[in-house]
């Protein structure tokens, strides 16, 4: 069986075993219940009665009450008007919560404590219209003409967003989903961490290593827990969407399909990157308590990267720091979704960031696999990362030196030197283009080209010497 097949076999085992546990089912139910409650409860507890009571005292135009009720109906607000013979009586009713506001001679609005802006707007509009009608009638203008002149003009509201082509809720949704992304990476990364320690403490890993290589075992564990975590998040997001459908629920920010797809992609990439770190560091410890201490620096780096990305993007999403943070593999999952939502990226930046983080994940699989394989069978005190890396170096030095000699001889041929020269030129040009696009600095963009020229000359000299 190939390494991919062995890794998938381990992933299926993780999914099967963890999905049957009570903890997984309880956590899934709790996540759904909490999210549905946060979305639906505000609408349930919101009072459905929007009726406002208005007290009137003194002289008022004849059409004031009718206009005020009509204004309330247009704003989906019920209005009840009560008249009072004297100002002290109306003020007493206001203090006793019998009315929300007292209109005195259609010139003064008296409130119990705080002003209600929406009700104030309705009342002042009704006063203005009624007074205009009264003056128009005194000027000899018939009521039909006055009503036509004062007819309300329908005005629609449209939020265009901060960036053309992006909805107004894209930035908010991306910020919320990035926060949820970081929390999910921490939660499911710690599941990988504790899972490694549990298998190590119960010696189950010894049985697994007899059939599966350490690297495939770690990769399969990361994939299995990641798929299970993605399932949990998908079910929770679906429950939140269903709960938000009723009109009385909390308003969730709208997000375009493209932004949502990028957020999902960066969750998968970010989880794969950090879960490999958690798995490798978990193999250094023999107890869960020790594992938390060993993996602490990874969490600190992630939190620091999140706040740095949030600050940089909020200040200038197209600035140098925002671009660097969105391209650096450790911070790209936390910075790039926000920049994409704000439309602050060029077409090639997300692609380059994905290529860089995929390269980082591939390299981390090699490094983490070696650390995991050397440390997973260690028992007792917590093993240092340096010791885990060097654990098999002495035993493998003889075989490795032979392989190195063969590789050196192969790379010394003229044909191999030409291939390496072409690869160096391509890499140097691409690096110069990226640096110039980020900094607009010609001097710094020339540095990779100069280094490439030196490397190519060295390869040509080497090829001539062995030719």
Cα(269)–Cα(387) distance, integer angstroms: 29
SS3 83: strand
Contact at 8 Å (CB) between 279 and 193?
Answer: yes
The pLDDT value recorded for residue 395 is 43
Q: Please compute the mean of the pLDDT values over residues 87-115 and round it to a whole number.
A: 89
Which residues make beta-bridge pairs with 101? 54, 111
Contact at 8 Å (CB) between 249 and 42?
Answer: yes
Contact at 8 Å (CB) between 87 and 110?
Answer: no
The pLDDT tens digits of the residues spanning 442-454 come to 666 777 777 778 7
Q: What is the DSSP letter of 253?
A: P
Placement of tokens 């919320």 in the chain: 176
Q: Please compute the mean of the pLDDT values over residues 91-112 and round it to a whole number.
A: 90
Cα(38)–Cα(232) distance, integer angstroms: 17
Question: What is the DSSP code string of 419-437?
Answer: HHHHHHHHHHHHHHHHHHH
The pLDDT value recorded for residue 55 is 92
Return the CA Rg of the chain.
Answer: 34
17-52 b/e (C-beta count within 10 Å ≥ 16 → b): ebeeeeebeeebeebbeebbeebbeebeeeeeeeeb
In degrees to the nearest 10, what's the CA dihedral of 132, 135, 137, 141? -80
The pLDDT tens digits of the residues spanning 332-345 come to 998 898 888 878 88
- Sequence-separated (6 or more) residues with CB below 8 Å from residue 381: 286
Contact at 8 Å (CB) between 111 and 68?
Answer: no
- Sequence-separated (6 or more) residues with CB below 8 Å from residue 87: 57, 58, 104
- Between 306 and 241, name the one with better pLDDT: 306
Structure tokens at 347: 């077409």
- Between 413 and 225, name the one with better pLDDT: 225
- Does the predicted TM-score (pTM) go above 0.85? no
The pLDDT value recorded for residue 405 is 45
Confidence of residue 57 (pLDDT cuts 50, 70, 90): very high
Would the pLDDT of 391 be above 50? yes
Q: Would you tell me how many other CB atoms lie within 10 Å of the CB of residue 140?
A: 6
Structure tokens at 118: 């929406």
The pLDDT value recorded for residue 191 is 85
């Amino acid at each position: 069986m190939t390494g991919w097949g062995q890794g998938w076999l381990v992933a299926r085992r993780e999914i099967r075993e963890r999905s049957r546990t009570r903890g997984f089912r309880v956590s899934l139910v709790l996540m759904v219940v909490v999210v549905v409650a946060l979305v639906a409860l505000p609408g349930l507890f919101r009072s459905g009665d929007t009726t406002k009571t208005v007290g009137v005292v003194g002289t008022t135009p004849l059409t004031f009450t009718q206009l005020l009720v009509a204004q309330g109906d247009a704003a989906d607000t019920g209005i009840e008007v009560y008249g009072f013979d004297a100002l002290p009586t109306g003020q007493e009713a206001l203090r006793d919560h019998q009315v929300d506001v007292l209109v005195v001679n259609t010139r003064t609005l008296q409130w119990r404590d705080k002003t209600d802006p929406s009700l104030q707007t309705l009342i002042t509009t009704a006063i203005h219209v009624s007074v205009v009608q009264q003056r128009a009638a005194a000027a000899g203008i018939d009521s039909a003409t006055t009503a036509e002149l004062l007819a309300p003009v329908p005005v629609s509201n449209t939020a265009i967003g901060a960036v053309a082509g992006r909805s107004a809720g894209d930035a908010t949704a991306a910020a919320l989903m990035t926060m949820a992304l970081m929390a999910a990476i921490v939660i499911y990364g710690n599941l990988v961490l504790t899972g490694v320690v549990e298998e190590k403490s119960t010696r189950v890993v010894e049985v697994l290593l007899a059939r599966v290589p350490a690297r495939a075992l770690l990769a399969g564990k990361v994939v299995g827990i990641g798929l299970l975590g993605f399932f949990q998040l998908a079910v929770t997001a679906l429950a939140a969407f269903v709960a938000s459908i009723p009109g009385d629920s909390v308003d969730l920010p709208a997000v375009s399909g493209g932004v949502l797809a990028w957020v999902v992609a960066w969750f998968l990439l970010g989880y794969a990157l950090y879960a490999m770190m958690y798995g490798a560091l978990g193999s250094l410890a023999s107890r869960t308590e020790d594992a938390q201490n060993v993996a602490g620096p990874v969490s600190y780096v992630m939190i620091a990267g999140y706040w740095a990305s949030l600050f940089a993007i909020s200040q200038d999403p197209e600035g140098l720091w925002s671009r660097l943070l969105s391209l650096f593999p450790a911070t790209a999952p936390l910075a790039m979704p926000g920049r994409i939502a704000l439309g602050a990226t060029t077409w090639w930046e997300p692609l380059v960031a994905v290529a860089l983080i995929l390269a980082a994940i591939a390299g981390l699989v090699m490094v983490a696999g070696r650390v995991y394989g050397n440390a997973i069978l260690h028992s007792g005190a917590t093993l240092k990362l340096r010791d885990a890396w060097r654990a098999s170096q002495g035993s493998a030095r003889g075989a490795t030196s032979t392989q190195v000699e063969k590789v050196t001889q192969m790379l010394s041929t003229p044909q191999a030197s030409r291939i390496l020269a072409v690869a160096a030129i391509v890499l140097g040009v691409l690096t110069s283009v990226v640096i110039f696009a980020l900094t607009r600095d010609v001097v710094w963009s020339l540095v990779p080209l100069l280094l490439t020229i030196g490397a190519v000359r060295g390869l040509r000299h080497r090829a001539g010497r062995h030719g």
